[in-house]
């Protein structure tokens, strides 16, 4: 185990009070726009369903996540948290969380690889009964280095596509030894967070970081999955000409039928002004593409890991690299062309200096699902064997209903006859 210190011991003591106050201010703002978590939190605070439980979390530590952390702590759990990306933590929010008597936060922005993993060790040192991941770092490390803890773990919940992919691969190998809910795959998460959240916040982060316009630009979106669709739609809405690259024929066809240009990256590389990768895969933009790009292009990634753009190849091609603006590294090639990488190729909507992550309302939904998944694990964990599990549909509906009520939106409900009809096989024409 490690003696890696919580954020309160990492920040300068003189700065701590103001950091905590600023973090709390950010959280208070988020809280005003998170009616789902507010409702769930009231329920948890009244019923204290997590008394005696220990929840380990590795997530992007900023104001919205902080509301989930507090919601779980208010339910009686002891919560330990660290970041799931070295550049997405807001230190002030981390410091504000660490004040809560049930919460220990180890997250700090800008940590190196060694510190990043030390913090994950520290979180696991709390001997969790539940894990909540964004990218599967906790599950991976527990299975690799702390197998003795597995018997005490009721289950876990995973936030993002890449984490769910990794978990399914682990499950297929028979290596996943406790149940994990694929929160990412619920309608209430994926149709809003991945599509609207990634679309809005990635474009906003790039625009704020560069002070450049979308209008009239050739914007190359790599991957037309949930995130890519959102990015493409929002970029198109800002008058960009969207070009999609894909490897999956139906997704490529879908993009084509939506009216976007679809072509291989090798062609798109020559005409793109902005490149945004959203594949969850690796080596999407590599040397042969970089060599063809125009002077002044912007390169950014919204996929979970920073392996979609080959930055080593770019560094190798470049004769100079310098910080052109906060969050923008310009790589100058021998012939004078400059290729600008935003946020070091890490999740652009979270890792650029001005990034705020997804809009608050979107994260209220995703984290509402997370909260009820933790409740389900602790109330009914024995129903779920080791492996990846879909979130029960009634939990997802519960979150949708709270949100609709908060928005003042009413909907119809099925009549008895309609329900019978929908469930029957013998009512033809």
Binding site for ligand NAI (CB under 6 A): 160-162, 193-194, 198, 222-228, 245-248, 251, 278-281, 284, 302-304, 347, 349, 358
Q: Can you list the positions of beta strands (E) in 34-137?
A: 54-58, 78-82, 103-105, 130-133
Three-state DSSP state, 260: coil
Whichever of 227 and 243 has its CB closer to ligand NAI, that residue is: 227
CA distance 60 to 70: 14
Neighbouring residues of 82: CB distance < 8 A, sequence distance ≥ 6? 57, 58, 61, 105, 106, 107, 119, 120, 122, 123
Whichever of 44 and 224 has its CB closer to ligand NAI, that residue is: 224
Whichever of 153 and 300 has its CB closer to ligand NAI, that residue is: 300
Q: How far is the CB of 81 from ligand NAI (least distance, A)?
A: 18
Whichever of 201 and 340 has its CB closer to ligand NAI, that residue is: 201
Give the Cβ contact number of residue 298 at 10 Å.
Answer: 21
The DSSP string of 143-177 is HHH-GGGGGG--EEEE-SHHHHHHHHHHHHTT---
Whichever of 183 and 372 has its CB closer to ligand NAI, that residue is: 183
Whichever of 154 and 255 has its CB closer to ligand NAI, that residue is: 255
Residue showing the smallest CB distance to ligand NAI in the complex: 225
Whichever of 36 and 268 has its CB closer to ligand NAI, that residue is: 268
Q: How far is the CB of 216 from ligand NAI (least distance, A)?
A: 24
Q: How far is the CB of 172 from ligand NAI (least distance, A)?
A: 16
Q: How far is the CB of 418 from ligand NAI (least distance, A)?
A: 32
Among candidate residues 80, 56, 79, 81, the one with its CA nearest the CA of residue 153: 56
Whichever of 75 and 83 has its CB closer to ligand NAI, that residue is: 83
Q: How far is the CB of 307 from ligand NAI (least distance, A)?
A: 10
DSSP H/E element including 342: strand 338-342
Whichever of 154 and 183 has its CB closer to ligand NAI, that residue is: 183
Among candidate residues 135, 26, 132, 178, the one with its CA nearest the CA of residue 369: 132
Neighbouring residues of 272: CB distance < 8 A, sequence distance ≥ 6? 218, 219, 220, 243, 293, 294, 297
CB 290 within 8 Å of CB 314: yes
CA distance 76 to 68: 13
Q: How far is the CB of 323 from ligand NAI (least distance, A)?
A: 23
**Please, what is the Cα angle at 85 between 309 and 158, to 5 degrees?**
105
Q: How far is the CB of 128 from ligand NAI (least distance, A)?
A: 22
CA distance 193 to 291: 34
Q: How far is the CB of 245 from ligand NAI (least distance, A)?
A: 5
Q: How far is the CB of 215 from ligand NAI (least distance, A)?
A: 23
Structure-derived torsion over alpha carbons of residues 272, 275, 277, 282, reported in degrees to the nearest 10: 80
Whichever of 105 and 349 has its CB closer to ligand NAI, that residue is: 349
Burial 236-268 (b: 16+ CB within 10 A, else e): beeebbbbbbbeeeebbebbeeeebbbbebeeb
116 to 23, 78, 95, 341: CA distances (angstroms): 21, 21, 17, 23
Q: How far is the CB of 277 from ligand NAI (least distance, A)?
A: 8
The separation between CA 39 and the C-alpha centre of its own chain, rounded to angstroms, equals: 23
């Amino acid at each position: 185990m490690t003696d890696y210190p919580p954020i309160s011991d990492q920040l300068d003591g003189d700065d701590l009070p103001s950091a905590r106050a600023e973090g709390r201010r950010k959280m208070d703002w988020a809280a005003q726009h998170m009616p789902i978590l507010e409702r769930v939190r009231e329920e948890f605070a009244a019923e204290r369903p997590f008394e005696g439980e220990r929840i380990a979390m590795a997530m992007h530590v900023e104001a919205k996540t902080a509301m989930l952390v507090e919601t779980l702590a208010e339910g009686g759990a002891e919560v330990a948290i660290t970041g799931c990306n070295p550049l997405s933590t807001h230190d002030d929010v981390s410091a504000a969380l660490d004040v809560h008597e049930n919460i220990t936060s180890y997250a700090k922005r800008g940590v190196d690889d060694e510190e990043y993993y030390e913090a994950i060790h520290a979180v696991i040192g709390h001997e969790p009964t539940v894990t909540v991941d964004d990218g599967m770092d906790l599950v991976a490390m527990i299975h690799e280095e702390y197998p003795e803890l597995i018997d005490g773990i009721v289950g876990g919940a995973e936030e993002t596509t890449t984490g769910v992919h990794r978990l399914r691969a682990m499950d297929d190998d028979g290596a996943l030894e406790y149940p994990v809910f694929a929160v990412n795959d619920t309608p209430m998460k994926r149709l809003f967070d991945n599509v609207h959240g990634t679309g809005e916040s990635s474009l906003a982060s790039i625009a704020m970081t560069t002070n450049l316009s979308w209008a009239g630009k050739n914007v190359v979106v790599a991957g037309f999955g949930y995130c890519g669709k959102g990015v493409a739609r929002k970029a198109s809405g800002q008058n960009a000409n969207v070009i999609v690259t894909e490897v999956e024929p139906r997704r490529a066809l879908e993009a084509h039928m939506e009216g976007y240009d679809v072509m291989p990256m090798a062609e798109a590389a020559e005409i793109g002004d902005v490149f945004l990768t959203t594949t969850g895969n690796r080596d999407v933009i590599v040397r042969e593409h970089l060599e063809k790009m125009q002077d002044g292009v912007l390169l950014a990634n919204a996929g979970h890991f920073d392996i979609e753009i080959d930055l080593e190849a770019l560094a190798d091609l470049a004769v100079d690299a310098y910080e052109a603006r906060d969050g923008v590294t310009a790589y100058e090639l021998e012939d004078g062309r400059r290729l600008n990488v935003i946020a070091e190729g890490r999740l652009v909507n979270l890792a650029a200096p001005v990034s705020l992550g997804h809009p608050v309302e979107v994260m209220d939904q995703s984290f509402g699902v997370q909260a009820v998944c933790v409740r389900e694990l602790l109330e009914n964990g024995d129903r779920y064997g080791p492996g990846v599990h879909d979130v029960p549909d009634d939990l997802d509906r519960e979150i949708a209903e709270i949100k609709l009520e908060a928005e003042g939106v009413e909907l119809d409900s099925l009549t008895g006859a309609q329900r019978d009809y929908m469930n029957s096989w013998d009512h033809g024409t």
